[in-house]
Amino acid sequence: MASRTFAIDIGTDSIKIYRKGTGLIYFQKTVLAEKNKKKVIAVGNDAYEIFGKAPDKIEVTFPLKNGVIASINSMQSLINCVFLDLSKEYGKIKNPRIYIAVSADITDIEKKAFYDIMDGCFVRPKSIIMIDKPVADAIGCGIDFYDTKGSMIVDIGAETTEISVVSAGTLVLSKLFKFGGHDIDEAIINTIRRKFNILIGLKTAEQTKRKTVALDNSERECKLYGRDVVSGLPRECKVDSAVFRDNVIEQVNPVVDAIKSVLERTPPEISADIYRNGVVITGGTSKIPGIADLIEDGIGLKIKTVVEPTDSVINGLSAVAEGRITL
């Protein structure tokens, strides 16, 4: 019989769900599309697909903002729809045991909102176990969590950067900083408008980022399409890495300052471990070429990257769900 144990990482950009014994069964955008604010017409990647194209009657929302739930109702609908889809694909899901990752540096009320959403889901969970995201991240990044040596993890996601220190199986410090890939997407929209007089949407900006943004010396280019600000007509333009580089570097500099401020608050013995072992960066935005070197130069400590940075939290949660690690 398929397991009733699930692990869930609800990110601002995407929801990742792992089922014990099966693997990663869901990885889609955290987006909901509703008609007349009542009827859900699409969730996940399908909802993201109509984002920016939908008529007035259809509202496309991102229920998570800066790592916290911005709309309880939308998030509840989204989670119900996701479990409904999963039930159709994998058979009825009833009274599951759910492991869910929540940011450490948010209020208890904000944490409880995640619990309540799971508790209110039609699958009626038997138990909900909340795990600090940095703990899941550390495990997912391959850090020996019970090692007495301290480690620092910096998760740069879509709207948040979570900077954390773990040591000897405990979370020592955590700071949630409001920066992520969505900020870079916004900056791309502004740059294209200013330099080329073309208006583009968020989706085009995200694709452009993945294709061109590089903070090292690599040169990548792509074509994009938008609306000419003056003529109002559709137009094409070609952009390359150099167009965005300075602007994105400027956005990453505050992350360097935030890491330094966490290092300043880190107990000296753990600082010494971090000095020797370096800092691990993860999260989807850490895939930007050159971002690791930029942070390394800024903080003066060695930076280590991980192979699948968007999956580190869900990989850590799945290790707990599978019983490979006990917390």
Distance CA 205, CA 182 (A): 9
Token pair of 227 as six digits: 């609306």
136 binds ligand ATP (CB under 6 A): no
The residue assigned the tokens 């940075």 is 309
Considering the complex, state which of residue 188 and residue 270 has its C-beta at the smaller distance from ligand ATP.
188
157 binds Mg ion (CB under 5 A): yes
245 binds ligand ATP (CB under 6 A): no
Q: Choose the contact partner of 125 out of ligand ATP, Mg ion, none; CB within 5 to 8 A by kind.
A: none
Q: Choose the contact partner of 150 out of Mg ion, ligand ATP, none; CB within 5 to 8 A by kind.
A: none
Task: Judge contact between 38 and 45, C-beta under 8 A.
Answer: no
Q: Choose the contact partner of 13 out of ligand ATP, Mg ion, none; CB within 5 to 8 A by kind.
A: ligand ATP
* DSSP secondary structure string for all residues of 285-302: GGGSTTHHHHHHHHHTS-
Q: How far is the CB of 211 from ligand ATP (least distance, A)?
A: 9
Task: Judge contact between 8 and 101, C-beta under 8 A.
Answer: yes
Angle, helices 241-265/202-212, rounded to nearest 10 degrees: 90
13 binds ligand ATP (CB under 6 A): yes
Taking CB under 6 A as the criterion, the residue among 44, 63, 125, 181 binding ligand ATP is 181
288 binds ligand ATP (CB under 6 A): yes
Q: How far is the CB of 33 from Mg ion (least distance, A)?
A: 22
Considering the complex, state which of residue 64 and residue 270 has its C-beta at the smaller distance from ligand ATP.
64
β-strand pairing of 68-69 with 64-65: antiparallel
Q: How many other C-beta atoms can be found within 10 angstroms of the C-beta atom of residue 153?
A: 26
Written as one letter, the residue type at 50 is I
Residues 6+ apart with CB under 8 A from 35: 41, 57, 58, 59
Q: How far is the CB of 181 from Mg ion (least distance, A)?
A: 10
Q: How far is the CB of 13 from Mg ion (least distance, A)?
A: 7
Considering the complex, state which of residue 136 and residue 213 has its C-beta at the smaller distance from Mg ion.
136
Considering the complex, state which of residue 105 and residue 206 has its C-beta at the smaller distance from ligand ATP.
206
Q: Choose the contact partner of 167 out of ligand ATP, Mg ion, none; CB within 5 to 8 A by kind.
A: none
Residues 61 to 80: which contact ligand ATP by CB under 6 A?
Answer: 67
Considering the complex, state which of residue 136 and residue 270 has its C-beta at the smaller distance from ligand ATP.
136
Distance CA 60, CA 37 (A): 10
First to last CA, the chain: 26
Q: Choose the contact partner of 132 out of Mg ion, ligand ATP, none; CB within 5 to 8 A by kind.
A: none
Q: Which among 210, 220, 175, 221 has a CA at the least distance from the CA of 285? A: 210
Taking CB under 6 A as the criterion, the residue among 19, 20, 175, 209 binding ligand ATP is 209
Residues 6+ apart with CB under 8 A from 123: 83, 87, 93, 94, 95, 96
Residues 7 to 46: which contact Mg ion by CB under 5 A?
Answer: 11
The residue assigned the tokens 């009833």 is 94
Taking CB under 6 A as the criterion, the residue among 6, 8, 12, 255 binding ligand ATP is 12
In total, the chain counts a number of residues equal to: 327
Written as one letter, the residue type at 152 is M
Q: Choose the contact partner of 140 out of ligand ATP, Mg ion, none; CB within 5 to 8 A by kind.
A: none
Q: Which among 26, 25, 31 has a CA at the least distance from the CA of 12? A: 31
Task: Judge contact between 154 and 295, C-beta under 8 A.
Answer: yes
Taking CB under 6 A as the criterion, the residue among 222, 287, 296, 325 binding ligand ATP is 287
- Number of residues binding to ligand ATP, judged by CB under 6 A: 21
Binding site for ligand ATP (CB under 6 A): 11-14, 67, 157-160, 180-182, 206, 209-210, 283-285, 287-288, 310
